């Protein structure tokens, strides 16, 4: 089994229910098991058109799927939950981003690992630090906790629900 970390986000419809449904689907995905789930944070949107605030969280998965197959399965979950890709960085029912897969560094037309913008985003780093603050980002050679401490104060991010919210 390999350890992967996934970011979840939603700002359309019932945001929390969208995230719960995504977690259920991640946990029942073939050859994959949910290994951890962060708290949920409410965050201001970054980039794109004017839109509602997001709910964001991170999940740890243990999987036998390759990074590419895992990403394809995640994209299918987005589709099942009504994700429509019409506007770049636009509003969405659910967004699932593969952040890290073991120590793999990858740059293909389909997938870039680690996620190219994760180190700039508190809405990814703060929940990821809950799961594994000592995780070293491949290619960056810094821990998640170090990256959090290097960011500007977590403006526009507030705790929405503590860990255990998926129950």
Strands 112-113 and 106-107: antiparallel
Closest CA to 100 of 119, 85, 75: 119
Closest CA to 22 of 75, 85, 69: 75
9: CB partners within 8 A, 6+ apart:
54, 55, 56, 92, 94, 95, 97, 123
3-state SS assignment for residue 151: coil
Give me the active site residues, please.
Answer: 83, 92, 95, 97
């Amino acid at each position: 089994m390999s350890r992967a970390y996934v970011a979840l986000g939603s700002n359309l419809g019932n945001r929390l229910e969208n995230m719960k449904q995504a977690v259920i689907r991640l946990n029942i995905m073939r050859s994959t098991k949910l290994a951890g789930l962060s708290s949920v944070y409410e965050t201001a949107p970054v980039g794109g058109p004017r839109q509602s605030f997001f709910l964001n969280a991170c999940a740890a998965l243990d999987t036998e799927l390759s990074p590419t197959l895992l990403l394809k399965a995640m994209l299918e979950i987005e589709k099942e939950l009504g994700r429509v890709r019409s506007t770049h960085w636009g509003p969405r029912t659910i967004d699932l981003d593969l952040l890290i897969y073991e120590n793999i560094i990858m740059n293909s037309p389909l997938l870039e690992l680690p996620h190219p913008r994760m180190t700039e985003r508190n809405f990814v780093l703060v929940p990821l630090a809950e799961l594994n603050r000592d995780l070293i980002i491949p290619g960056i050679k810094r821990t998640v906790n170090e990256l959090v401490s290097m960011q500007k104060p977590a403006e526009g991010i507030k705790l929405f629900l503590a860990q255990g919210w998926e129950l």
